[in-house]
């Protein structure tokens, strides 16, 4: 049975077996052919067509056109990984079609910025992160120094400090002063004082 066995409205004018080419209802992608028995007065099964699809082509899926009148090639990148040039997030391609806009196959890196063709180092972002990291380190080291000074100062104030604790408190206070003089805006060119033992 071929197309001439159907009337202008798509109904069979006689019963018989016909080869049909089936598509996915979601993607319009060709999924295989089957032999179907068509009874006179009925049409083809849903998502089935009589015209033979295009030959398979690497990197493309064979699909029905949006108007369902013919076959077309649609880019098939499913399973590939891309990266957003805006957020740097990984994008796993799951649908047929061209690559998402604002995406690349080039893997982004820390402090990377997209310049339209490749990732480049964003010096201002890198500098800001380095300065922030130095400020956090300074705050953490100051907190340690404050803690070391505090309990020793309690011993001195209470009159029950050991001689080495009196020496240690002076050493820790000097360390804290040197630490507080550090200008973290000059990071990474910062020379950190050595903490007392």
The answer to whether 93 and 77 are in contact (CB under 8 A) is yes
Beta bridge partners of 48: 22
β-bridge mates for residue 21, sequence order: 33, 49
170 phi/psi in degrees, rounded to 5: -65, -40
Count other C-beta atoms under 10 Å from residue 164's C-beta. 9
Number of H helices and number of E strands within the chain? 2, 10
Whether the Cβ atoms of residue 136 and residue 160 lie closer than 8 Å to each other: no
Per-residue pLDDT tens listing for the chain (197 residues): 566 788 988 899 999 999 999 999 999 999 999 999 999 999 999 999 999 999 999 999 999 999 999 999 999 999 999 999 999 999 999 999 999 999 999 999 999 999 999 999 999 999 999 999 999 999 999 999 999 999 999 999 999 999 999 999 999 999 999 999 999 999 999 999 999 98
Task: Enumerate the domain spans of the chain.
Answer: 3-75, 81-121, 123-186
């Amino acid at each position: 049975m071929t197309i001439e066995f159907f009337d202008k409205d798509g109904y069979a004018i006689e019963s018989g077996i016909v080869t049909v080419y089936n598509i996915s209802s979601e993607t319009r992608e060709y999924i295989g052919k089957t032999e179907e028995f068509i009874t006179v007065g009925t049409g083809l099964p849903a998502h089935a067509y009589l015209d033979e699809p295009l030959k398979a082509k690497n990197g493309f899926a064979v699909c029905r056109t949006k108007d369902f009148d013919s076959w077309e090639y649609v880019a098939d990148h499913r399973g590939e990984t891309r990266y957003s040039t805006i957020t740097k997030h990984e994008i796993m391609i799951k649908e047929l079609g061209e690559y998402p806009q604002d995406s690349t196959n080039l893997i982004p890196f820390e402090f990377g910025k997209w310049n339209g063709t490749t990732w480049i180092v964003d010096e201002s972002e890198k500098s800001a992160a380095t300065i922030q990291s130095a400020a956090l380190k300074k705050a953490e080291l100051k907190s340690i120094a404050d803690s070391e000074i505090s309990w020793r100062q309690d011993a001195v104030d209470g009159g029950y400090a050991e001689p080495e604790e009196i020496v240690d408190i002076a050493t820790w206070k000097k360390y804290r002063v040197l630490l507080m003089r550090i200008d973290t805006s000059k990071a990474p060119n910062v020379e950190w004082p050595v903490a007392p033992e």
